[in-house]
Amino acid sequence: METEKVISLFFQVVLIALALIVSFIVVIIYIRSKRNQDITQKKIMQKDFTEQLMQSQIEVQEQTFQQIGKELHDNVGQLLSTSRMLLGLTERNLSNPPDTLLTANATLAQAINELRSLSKSLDKEWLEQFSFTDNLKTEISRINAGNDVMAEFVPVDSMPLASGEQIILFRIVQEAIQNAIKHGQPKNILIQIKREENSFCILISDDGVGFISGETIKGMGLANMKQRTSLLGGNITWNSIPNQGTTVCIYLPLKKELQ
C-alpha cells in the first residue's frame, strides 16, 4: 500500500513538473512571438515613415521643378527668343553678315531648343507620359552632335513598360552610355532592343577598349545600375573583351498583361 502511494505521488510530481515545463515553454514561445511581432511592427512603421518622407520630398521637388520649368519656358525662353529675333533682323539687314553673327544665331537656336527640353523634363505631366524611345533618340542626337562618338539606336514600335518604369530604364541605359564614353573611349555605340516571347533585352554595345570581365570597376555606378534593374524585376550583365569593346545587356521579363 505504501509503495502504491509512493508511485502515485511520484507520477503526480512528474505530471506537475511536466505541466510547469510545458507552461514555461509556452510562455517563452509567446514572449518571443510577441517580441518578433513588435520588431516586425517597428520595421513596418519605419518603412512606412521612410516611404512617406520620400514621397513628401518627391512632391516638394516636383512642385519646385514645375516652377523652375515654368520660369525657364516663360521668362528665360522668351528673352532668348527675342534675342535671336534681333540677331535675325541684324543678319537680314547685312548684305554679307559675318560668320561670327551666323554662328551666334545658330548657337542661340540650339540653346533655345536645349532650354525647351530642360523645361519639359521638369514638368510633372511630361514625366507621367515619359517615352523611353523619344528621350533616347534625343540623347543619341546630343551625343552625335559632339562628333567624338557616333551612336545609333534601333528602336521598337512600343515599350512594354509604364512611364515610371521607362524613366528608370532610361537612366540605366543613359548611365551605360556615359560609362562607355568615359571609360571605354569608343568610336561607335549601338543600342538595340530585342524582344522575345516572355522577355526583352536592351543591348548597349561599344567598340572601345573594354575590360577584363569580372573586374570590379570603380566609379562606373555598376551597383546602382544593378539595383535599378532589379527594381524592374530584371537583371543586367556586362560582357567585355579587352581592346574589342563591351556589351551591356539589360534583361527584363514581360508582364503577363503586356505579353
152 with 228, same domain: the answer is: yes
184 in Cβ contact with 178 (< 8 Å): no
Both 52 and 95 in one domain: the answer is yes
CA distance 55 to 67: 18
Indicate if 49 and 93 belong to the same structural domain.
yes
Same structural domain for residues 56 and 88?
Answer: yes
Does 63 share its domain with 107? yes
Name the residue range of residue 100's domain: 1-129
In eight-state DSSP terms, residue 156 is -
One domain for residues 88 and 138: no
pLDDT for residue 69: 66
Q: What is the pLDDT of residue 188?
A: 94
| pLDDT on residue 28 | 82
Enumerate residue ranges in the chain where pLDDT < 50.
Answer: 257-259
Same domain, 57 and 162: no
- The domain boundary, picked from 95, 114, 129, lies at 129
Q: Say yes or no: 39 and 156 in one domain.
A: no
**Same domain for 140 and 122?**
no
Domain boundary among 129, 159, 185: 129
CATH number where 142 lies: 3.30.565.10
**Whole-angstrom distance, CA of residue 216 vs CA of residue 142:** 29
The alpha helices in the chain, defined as continuous H runs, are 2-71, 77-93, 99-121, 124-128, 132-145, 163-179, 222-231
pLDDT of residue 259: 45
Domain boundary among 112, 129, 146: 129
Identify whether residues 38 and 158 lie together within a single domain: no
Residues 167 and 214 in one domain: yes
- For the record, the C-alpha cell of 145 comes out as 552632335
Q: How high is the pLDDT of residue 151?
A: 93
Rg (alpha carbons) of the chain, rounded to whole number = 32
Q: Structural domain tally of the chain?
A: 2
- In this structure, the answer to whether residues 178 and 231 fall within a common structural domain is yes
